[in-house]
Amino acid sequence: MIVPGRKTCGMPRPSLLLTALPLLALARTGSAPFRIVGNLYYVGDTDLAAFLVVTPKGDILINSGFEYSANEIRGRMKVLGFHFRDIKILLATHAHSDHVAAMATIKRRTGAKMMAIEQEAKLLETGGQTDYLFGSSGWFPPVIVDRTFKDGDKIELGGSTLTAYLTPGHTKGSTSYTMDIVENNRQYHVLIANLPTVNEGTVLIHNPQYPGIVADYERTFEVLGRLPCDIYLTSHAGQFGLGVKYQSGKAYSPDTFVDPYALPRILDRLAAQFQAELDTQEQEEQAIEDRKHFKDVMPN
């Protein structure tokens, strides 16, 4: 259920006793799934992040990876003791093929509802064909969006609540999610952030496909910079230091991914990169204008 403007905290599902991960399953899926904190689990691979929110009323899957990832996610859920068919809601941080190409397959196999922020629905339903940057190399199987939501809306299921924030730039509807999880009488502010990275080839100046791209990037830096964040997660595992913070077989601790200083550092670095790219493109634009003016004033 989506509840505009209502503030509620996610209620964690009671802890599950997880058996040792079978070596055969790990070899098959390529990476070990694990519990992040409370009822939030990691079911992605070593690069493409996918997150599972487990509730008594069914599960929420955030991101799916490529088409082949559907079976991998199903296998990782099985290792954790969860059932693929229990996925009820599908969400995405942004609609690029490496994060959503398996959504159509998972939706068909589970009956889950695809939900998306309204600015990203068209990109999902056209299979990437309306992306402002990528051509056919970025296309993926289209997926019908069952429900759209707005910036600031709540996605609720089985006592857990995620708040969606529009953080555009990378795509027009890039979305970040916050979730409050309580464990051992401590509240953890979790942020699944869609970072304001600039893909190679992105036009920031006079972009007819995305006229407001600079303002959208600036908005995203501001939004992410003010969100409370104890545990910081992202669309790619390396962006939140998965390999450094967690090794397969490590005993569960709700504090493993607590890192309140990581996001400010990353945002500062990305802001510097964004500004450098913007400055470069502005200088190139000015150089073109200067050459035009030079031709105008040269005598015949």
- Residue ranges of the domains in the chain? 10-297
Per CATH, domain 10-297 is 3.60.15.10: yes
pLDDT in tens, 121-142: 999 999 999 999 998 989 999 9
What type of residue is 121?
A
Model confidence band, residue 153 (pLDDT cutoffs 50, 70, 90): very high
Rounded mean pLDDT of 152-180?
Answer: 98
pLDDT in tens, 44-94: 999 999 999 999 999 999 999 999 999 999 999 999 999 999 999 999 999
Closest CA to 147 of 113, 188, 96: 113
Could you tell me the pTM of the whole model? 0.87
What is the C-alpha to C-alpha distance for residues 196 and 210, in angstroms, rounded to an integer? 15
61 or 18: which carries more pLDDT confidence? 61
Q: What is the pLDDT of residue 288?
A: 77
Q: What is the pLDDT of residue 298?
A: 53
170 or 26: which carries more pLDDT confidence? 170
Beta strands in the chain (DSSP E): 2-3, 34-37, 40-42, 51-55, 58-62, 87-91, 113-117, 147-149, 154-157, 160-166, 175-183, 186-193, 231-234
120 or 288: which carries more pLDDT confidence? 120
Rounded mean pLDDT of 265-290?
Answer: 93
Q: What is the pLDDT of residue 30?
A: 53
Q: What is the pLDDT of residue 19?
A: 30
| Rounded CA Rg of the chain | 21
Report the mean per-residue pLDDT for the chain. Answer: 89
Beta strands in 128-268 (DSSP E): 147-149, 154-157, 160-166, 175-183, 186-193, 231-234
